[in-house]
């Protein structure tokens, strides 16, 4: 099993990796199919199913799909150009992606929300269709956005391509137990094994790329700490990170703050990221957009509040975290629509706890323990966003997830790595819990806070 650090951490846009980035990626893939087709399509149509339909408006899934069909992609997304394109599409009723002729697409007619037909492969399903001049379907494809911006066609999902082994790597651990055994046998750290695997896949120097990822994360924190006002979507949720940060800086200057206030620093870093995400800004999936604040908050805390921290260890932090994220995705899920928020913020907390434990001198056994503690205490967490927006409870939830990650790393470092519940058992428990969880609590906004809190 191998999942690159650059697949776990991807630069994209908010508010959702599965509901915004994924559909845009799927649309781009569909355009590639049309460019290779022997016929010329005259029109396009899209239908959203399952969670993509139920929370699509709040997650801007329709907007992302339309922009994807117009040729936009998350990694090169430009908001000003996107707004211009949406206006043009609304006026002309057609999209004009590069390398293809203009194709009819009227959002009110051709962007469909199907609340009745759930597609069988995954809760996040969508159909993209190409039409001839008479409006008949001449090409169609089903795509599943499986979390973290990962997209699979119906055939790829059925073939298990998300779990395909790929080219050989030196440390192909499929479980935490195998990871620890390989670490003991090789004498390498988890980050060193991960780096060797990256090198075997043609990425001999990951430090530069990881540095770029961290810069985007750090810039996102800074933008969030500098911004205020109301978040879009209609709930009138106020940005809070800036005010909290200003108050914390003032208290720090007076030297009177109680020790527990460090939790407020961690929370405001995470909230800054997720406020940016909710506003549709540039974020890094870690492993998802809905959980994008946990990792950067813990890293920012470590770099600015821990005396022994050094930027030279950022690569070790992120490689270790990516190893844990890969195990969770491979053996369970990182999708809130599939397994609830335990799969998003829970996974992010496990990754951040492992990374922090590693850079603070933890052994592989202590790192595995840190990840297990963090994930265990998110088990059963539902995904019930109010109005389908990645705002309530998502923004605060990232702050608490980051605090749990720091606490988990600290507890693990106080021990010797021996503990009762293995990380593998915790991941399997999360998978089973997600399987048994009612769909109302898996990013459909049909239960929980989403129906017990007024949406206005």
> Looking at beta carbons, which pairs linking 72-80 to residues 24 or more positions away fall under 8 Å?
72/24, 72/28, 73/24, 73/25, 73/28, 74/10, 74/11, 74/12, 74/13, 74/20, 74/21, 74/24, 74/25, 74/149, 75/10, 75/11, 75/12, 77/12, 77/13, 77/24, 77/282, 79/280
In CATH, what number is assigned to the domain containing residue 409?
A: 1.10.4100
pLDDT at 245: 98
- Is 109 buried (19+), middle (13-18) or exposed (0-12) by CB count in 10 A? exposed
Looking at the domain assignment, is residue 143 inside a domain?
yes
Among 390, 418, 316, which residue's Cα sits nearest to residue 357? Answer: 316
pLDDT at 252: 87
Residues 183 and 111 in one domain: no
Domain residue limits at 71: 17-163
Strand residue runs (E) in 235-343:
282-284
The reported pTM is 0.93
pLDDT at 451: 95
Where is the domain boundary, 163, 185, 220? 163
- The whole-number mean pLDDT for each consecutive block of 10 residues of the chain, a chain of 456 residues, reads 92 94 97 96 98 94 97 91 96 97 97 94 97 96 96 94 78 98 98 97 92 97 97 96 96 85 98 96 96 98 97 98 98 97 98 98 98 98 96 98 98 97 98 97 96 82
Number of domains composing the chain:
2
pLDDT at 100: 97
Looking at the domain assignment, is residue 351 inside a domain?
yes
Residues 121 and 62 in one domain: yes
Where is the domain boundary, 138, 163, 188? 163
Residues 111 and 199 in one domain: no
Rounded to whole angstroms, what are the CA distances from 349 to 89, 373, 409?
41, 9, 10
Q: HSE (CB half, 13 Å, CA atoms) of 162?
A: 26
* DSSP 8-state assignment for residue 239: P
CA distance 341 to 434: 9
CA distance 179 to 272: 34
Is the bond preceding 15 in cis, omega lying within 30 degrees of 0? yes
Looking at the domain assignment, is residue 11 inside a domain?
no
CA distance 429 to 433: 6
pLDDT at 164: 65
215 phi and psi, to 5 degrees?
-60, -40
Residues 364 and 249 in one domain: yes
Residues 36 and 120 in one domain: yes
CA distance 362 to 127: 46
Residues 27 and 127 in one domain: yes
Structure tokens at 438: 């009612």
Residues 185 and 130 in one domain: no
Looking at the domain assignment, is residue 10 inside a domain?
no
CB 360 within 8 A of CB 410: no
In CATH, what number is assigned to the domain containing residue 41?
A: 3.30.1330.90
Residues 242 and 284 in one domain: yes
Among 123, 91, 121, which residue's Cα sits nearest to residue 107? Answer: 91
* DSSP 8-state assignment for residue 21: I
User: What is the three-state SS of 299-314?
Assistant: HHHHHHHCCCCCHHHH
Q: Are strands 282-284 and 137-147 parallel, antiparallel or unpaired?
A: unpaired
CB 68 within 8 A of CB 23: yes
Neighbours of 67 (CB within 10 A): 27
Looking at the domain assignment, is residue 8 inside a domain?
no
Residues 267 and 306 in one domain: yes
Looking at the domain assignment, is residue 188 inside a domain?
yes
Residues 220 and 141 in one domain: no
CB 383 within 8 A of CB 344: yes
Where is the domain boundary, 108, 133, 163? 163
CB 190 within 8 A of CB 323: yes
Looking at the domain assignment, is residue 397 inside a domain?
yes
Among 105, 116, 110, 121, which residue's Cα sits nearest to residue 46? Answer: 110
Residues 226 and 315 in one domain: yes
Residues 86 and 217 in one domain: no
Looking at the domain assignment, is residue 55 inside a domain?
yes
CB contact set of 64 (below 8 Å; sequence gap of 6+): 19, 20, 21, 23, 24, 27
């Amino acid at each position: 099993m191998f999942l690159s650090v650059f697949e776990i951490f991807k630069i994209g846009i908010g508010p959702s990796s599965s509901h915004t980035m994924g559909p845009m990626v799927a649309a781009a893939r569909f355009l590639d199919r049309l460019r290779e087709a022997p016929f010329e399509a005259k029109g396009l149509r899209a239908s959203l199913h399952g969670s993509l339909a139920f929370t699509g408006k709040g997650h801007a899934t329709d907007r992302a799909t339309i922009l994807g069909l117009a040729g936009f992609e998350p990694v090169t997304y430009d908001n000003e150009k996107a707004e211009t394109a949406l206006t043009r599409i609304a006026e002309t009723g057609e999209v004009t992606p590069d390398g293809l002729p203009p194709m009819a697409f009227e959002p009110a007619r051709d962007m469909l929300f199907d609340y009745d037909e759930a597609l069988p492969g995954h809760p996040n399903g969508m159909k993209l269709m190409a039409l001839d001049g008479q409006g008949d379907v001449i090409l169609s494809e089903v795509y599943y956005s499986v979390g973290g911006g990962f997209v699979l066609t119906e055939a790829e999902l059925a073939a298990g391509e998300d779990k395909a082994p790929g080219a050989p790597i030196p440390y192909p651990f499929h479980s935490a137990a195998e990871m620890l055994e390989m670490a003991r046998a090789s004498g390498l750290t988890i980050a060193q094994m991960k780096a060797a695997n990256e090198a075997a896949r043609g990425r001999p120097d990951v430090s530069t790329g990881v540095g770029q990822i961290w810069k985007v994360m750090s810039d996102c924190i800074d933008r969030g700490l500098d911004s205020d006002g109301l978040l879009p979507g209609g709930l009138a949720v106020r940005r809070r990170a800036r005010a909290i940060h200003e108050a914390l800086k003032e208290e720090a200057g007076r030297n009177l703050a109680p020790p527990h206030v460090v939790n407020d620093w961690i929370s405001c870093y995470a909230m800054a990221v997720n406020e940016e995400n909710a506003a549709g800004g540039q974020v890094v999936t870690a492993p998802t957009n809905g959980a994008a604040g946990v990792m950067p908050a813990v890293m920012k805390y470590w770099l600015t509040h821990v005396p022994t921290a050094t930027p030279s260890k950022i690569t070790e932090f992120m490689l270790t975290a990516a190893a844990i994220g890969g195990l969770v995705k491979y053996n369970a899920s990182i999708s809130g629509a599939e397994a609830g928020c335990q799969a998003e913020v829970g996974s992010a907390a496990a990754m951040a706890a492992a990374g922090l434990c590693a850079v603070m001198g933890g052994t592989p056994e202590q790192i595995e323990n840190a990840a297990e503690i963090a994930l265990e205490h998110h088990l059963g967490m539902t995904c019930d966003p109010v109005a389908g927006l990645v705002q309530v409870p998502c923004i605060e939830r990232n702050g608490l997830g980051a605090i749990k990650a720091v606490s988990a790393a600290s507890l693990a470092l106080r021990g010797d790595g021996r503990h009762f519940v293995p990380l593998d058992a915790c991941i399997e428990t999360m998978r089973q819990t997600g399987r048994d969880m009612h769909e109302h609590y898996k990013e459909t906004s049909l239960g929980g806070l989403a129906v017990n809190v007024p949406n206005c």
